[in-house]
């Protein structure tokens, strides 16, 4: 039973890391595009610069959750909760960022 919980916890924590790094990558892409636009991308640069702490924080917490899954049953459950929670927070932050720049008719 402990091995199954460990595998499930590791997979969920890994998914949290992937989502968090996806948010970091999306912000990097937005920043690069805004820099290419020059003065017209200044508002986007300002927004992206304010989101780095959220993206970096969720990525670090998700990595911590993944590291916790290498222990016994209690650390596996804690890692599942920490990594999964960070992944959910990163997904919500990514959705918020995408909604800010979504093209609307």
Mean pLDDT, consecutive 10-residue stretches, the chain (105 aa), reads 86 95 95 89 90 94 93 90 96 92 67
pTM exceeds 0.75: yes
What's the pLDDT at 2? 72
DSSP 8-state class, residue 38: G
Nearest to 59 by CA among 80, 30, 89: 89
What's the pLDDT at 24? 96
Distance CA 81, CA 9 (A): 8
What's the pLDDT at 52? 94
What's the pLDDT at 70? 87
What's the pLDDT at 55? 94
What's the pLDDT at 104? 54
11 contacts 83 by C-beta, under 8 angstroms: no
């Amino acid at each position: 039973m402990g091995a199954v919980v460990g595998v499930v916890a590791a997979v969920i924590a890994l998914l949290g890391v992937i989502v968090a790094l996806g948010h970091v990558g999306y912000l990097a892409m937005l920043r690069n595009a805004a820099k290419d636009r020059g003065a017209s991308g200044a508002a986007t640069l300002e927004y992206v610069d304010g989101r780095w702490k959220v993206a970096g924080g969720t990525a670090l917490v998700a990595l911590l959750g993944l590291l916790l899954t290498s222990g016994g049953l209690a650390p596996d459950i804690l890692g599942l909760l920490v990594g999964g929670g960070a992944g959910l927070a990163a997904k919500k932050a990514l959705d918020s960022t995408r909604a800010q720049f979504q093209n609307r008719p």
